Structure 1
Amino acid sequence: MATPAALPPLPFNPSRVRSYLVRLPLFTRLVLLVILAFWLLELQTMWSVVQWGALIPDEINLGTMYRLNTYPLIHTGFFHALLNALALTPLLERFEAEHGTLTSIALFVGPLSTFPAGIYLLIEKVILHSNTSVVGSSIWVFLLLGSEAIRTYKSNPHFSLGPYKIPTWTSPLFACVVLSILVSNVSFLGHLCAILIGYLFGLGYLKFLVPPEKILRWIEGKLNLLGRLPHYISVDQKTFGRYGVLPSSNNAANGNNGTPMSFLGTNQRLGA
């Protein structure tokens, strides 16, 4: 009897993937769970989650302001949700590790969702007189890429492309253009709005929106969040470190400080 042929090796190490997922911080986990929950809800046919939570310019009023927060969490299909989750996870995980869980919640539930949405609505309604809807967490992907690009620019102003030296801060713009060319029905304008807010955040112009550390430390101490919540990251990294342990330089030594751009998600453009 012939010996069955051996299966080809997997392109990734499952144990490393599992180890990475187990170490994800709290807010990043919650975002991924909410994305999954909304996708599962969209499988039923009695109520359209997309129409309920999408950023639709003509549907924005005092009673539907929740759309300014829900649109990054809603997707139009499995692959849309999967690709956005793959793109968002390393970026959001790094942001939360550097800024803390409470700060991440305050920023992404607040200005890092509403500001790109506000600029998008202003351009769509006032300038373009259009009503194109958008959904998808790639709004956060490009926002974080914009912030990371500014940080990279400060230490490495240029990268070489043949004989040309291109400013590193332009990399999210380049990715935005390429994605819009290769993938149909994506929101080019939505991604540009997110990159703009990412640039402003990276340059420090939105620093006033970050909650004061004194207040965050008081909340953390009063509620004992670090002791009660698994995978919670304290705002005081110098004292507690990531996940409540002393900070380590292993990431820097292993060269993990680069901007993760292995995947680029898409912000789904709905309507004509």
Structure 2
Amino acid sequence: MATPAALPPLPFNPGRVRSYLARLPLFTRLVLLAILAFWLLELQTIWSVVQWGALIPDEINLGTMYRLNTYPFIHMGFFHTLLNAIALTPLLERFEAEHGTLTSIALFVGPLSTLPAGLYLLFEKVILHRNTAVVGSSVWVFLLLGSEAIRTYKSHPHFSLGPYKIPTWTSPLFACVVLSILVSHVSFLGHLCAIAVGYVFGLGYLKVFVPPEKVLRWIEGKLNLLGRLPHYVSVDQKTYGRYGVLPTTNANNNGNSTPMSYLGSSQRLGSE
């Protein structure tokens, strides 16, 4: 009797994936759940979730300002959803671990969604006079990459590419260009706007939007959030300290770079 052929090993360890997902903090879980929920809603044909929540320049008015917050949660199809979720999860998880759950909610529901959207609307509608709609959480992916690039630049100003030394802060721009070349129907302008806001955030100019630590402690104590909410990251539990803390500068820096993972894309609904 012939011995059945052994199955090839999986390219990843399922146990490690489960362990990683089990450790995700609360806000990261809620974002992924919202992305999944909007994708499931889009499967029905009665009501178009994309048309309802996309960032469409001509559809923005006082009654549709919710689009400034809904567009990162909405995607075009399964693979768009999956790739963006994979790209976003480690970046958002690290951000929440550094800054806490309440700060993450305040920033991503507020300026880290609305500022890239406002900048995109300014260029797309006012300057370019176009009406290209965008959706996708890659706005947060590129924003967080922009912020991380600025922070990394403080300790590793350059990375080597052959004989050339390239400033570390340019890495999200290279990723944006490469992604736009390799993947069709991505919003190059939308990604640039996200990177620009990420740079400003990384430089510390958006600290005004960060809730005061005393207020966060009062809310957490009053509502006992740490005791009531599993996976909640309190203001006193953060891994790397308060907003704006930068990596320690290495005096013997040789310009080594930090590897970058695959990026999701913001799907464009209209044509240019």
SS in 2 for 1:231: coil
Query: Residues 1-272 of structure 1 correspond to what in structure 2 (within 5 A)?
Result: 1-237=1-237, 261-272=260-271
Tell whether the 8 Å contact from 1:87 to 1:261 is kept in structure 2 after alignment.
Answer: no
Gaps of 5+ in 1: 243-257
Structure 1 residues 216-251: Cα deviation after superposition (integer angstroms, max 9, x where no partner) = 11000000000000000001236x999xxxxxxxxx
Give the superposition deviation at 1:262: 1.9
Superposed CA deviations along residues 196-220 of structure 1, whole A, max 9, x for unmatched, are 0000000001111101111011000
Cα deviation, residue 47, structure 1: 0.2
Q: TM-score, normalised by structure 2?
A: 0.92
Residues 106 and 211 in structure 2, CA contact (< 8 A), matched pair in contact too: yes
Q: Give 2:43's aligned amino acid.
A: L
The code of the aligned residue for 1:211 comes to P
Matches of 2:228 and 2:184, distance apart in 1: 45
Deviation at 1:184, TM superposition (A): 0.5
Q: Deviations over 1:101-154 (max 9, x none)?
A: 000000000000000000000111111000000000000000000000001100
Cα distance in 2 for residues equivalent to 1:261 and 1:91 = 11
Say whether the 8 Å CA contact 2:57–2:133 is kept in structure 1. Answer: yes
Matches of 2:260 and 2:91, distance apart in 1: 9
Deviations 1:138-177 (A, max 9, x none): 0000000000000110000000000000000000000000
Residue 254 of structure 2 corresponds to which residue in structure 1?
A: none
Q: What amino acid does structure 2 have at the position aligned with 1:32? A: L
TM-score under structure 1 normalisation?
0.92
Distance 2:59 2:134 in 1: 12
| In structure 1, distance between residues paired with 2:159 and 2:265 | 25
Aligned residues: 256
**RMSD over aligned Cα, in angstroms?**
1.5
8 Å contact 1:124–1:130 — kept in the other structure? yes
Question: What does the per-residue CA deviation read over 1:62-102, in whole Å, with 9 as the maximum and x for residues that have no partner?
Answer: 00000000000000100000000000000000000000000
* Residue aligned with 1:237, SS: coil
Structure 2: distance between partners of 1:12 and 1:84? 19
In structure 2, what is the Cα distance between the partners aligned to 1:188 and 1:103?
A: 29
Aligned residue identity for 2:207: K
SS of the equivalent of 1:263 reads coil
CA change 1:162–1:260 in 2 (3 A) is closer
Contact 2:98 2:240 (C-alpha < 8 Å) held by counterparts: no
Q: What is the alpha-carbon distance in structure 2 between the residues aligned to residue 65 and residue 41 of structure 1? A: 21
The DSSP-based 3-state class of the residue aligned with 1:266 is: coil
Return closer, same or farther for 1:47/1:216 CA change in 2, 3 Å cut-off.
same
* Matched position secondary structure for 2:6: coil
Letter in 1 for 2:232: Y
Partner Cα separation in structure 1 for residue 217 and residue 265 of structure 2: 36
Deviation at 1:259, TM superposition (A): 6.1
Separation of aligned partners in 1, 2:10 and 2:261? 18
